[in-house]
Protein backbone atom coordinates (compact mmCIF):
# COMPACT_ATOMS: atom_id res chain seq x y z
CA UNK A 1 0.00 0.00 0.00
CA UNK A 2 2.76 2.42 0.92
CA UNK A 3 4.58 1.71 -2.34
CA UNK A 4 1.40 2.34 -4.28
CA UNK A 5 0.83 5.67 -2.53
CA UNK A 6 4.42 6.65 -3.11
CA UNK A 7 4.13 5.82 -6.78
CA UNK A 8 0.96 7.87 -7.06
CA UNK A 9 2.73 10.87 -5.55
CA UNK A 10 5.63 10.37 -7.93
CA UNK A 11 3.27 10.38 -10.89
CA UNK A 12 1.58 13.52 -9.61
CA UNK A 13 4.93 15.29 -9.25
CA UNK A 14 5.90 14.15 -12.74
CA UNK A 15 2.60 15.46 -14.08
CA UNK A 16 2.99 18.82 -12.34
CA UNK A 17 6.51 19.19 -13.71
CA UNK A 18 5.41 18.45 -17.25
CA UNK A 19 2.49 20.89 -16.96
CA UNK A 20 4.66 23.66 -15.52
CA UNK A 21 7.38 23.17 -18.13
CA UNK A 22 4.71 23.21 -20.84
CA UNK A 23 3.43 26.56 -19.56
CA UNK A 24 6.97 27.89 -19.27
CA UNK A 25 7.53 27.07 -22.94
CA UNK A 26 4.25 28.77 -23.85
CA UNK A 27 5.30 31.85 -21.87
CA UNK A 28 8.65 31.96 -23.65
CA UNK A 29 7.01 31.69 -27.06
CA UNK A 30 4.50 34.35 -26.08
CA UNK A 31 7.19 36.75 -24.84
CA UNK A 32 9.28 36.15 -27.94
CA UNK A 33 6.37 36.85 -30.27
CA UNK A 34 5.54 40.09 -28.44
CA UNK A 35 9.21 41.10 -28.56
CA UNK A 36 9.32 40.21 -32.25
CA UNK A 37 6.21 42.27 -32.99
CA UNK A 38 7.68 45.26 -31.14
CA UNK A 39 10.90 44.98 -33.12
CA UNK A 40 9.20 44.63 -36.49
CA UNK A 41 6.72 47.46 -35.93
CA UNK A 42 9.49 49.89 -34.91
What is the Cα–Cα distance from 27 to 36, expressed in whole angstroms? 14
pLDDT tens, residue by residue, 1-42: 566 677 788 888 888 888 888 888 888 888 777 777 777 765
Q: How far is CA 36 from the centre of its chain?
A: 22
What's the DSSP call for residue 42?
-
- Quote the pLDDT of residue 23: 86
At residue 1, the pLDDT reads 52
Amino acid sequence: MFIYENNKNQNQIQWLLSISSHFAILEMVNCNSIFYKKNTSA
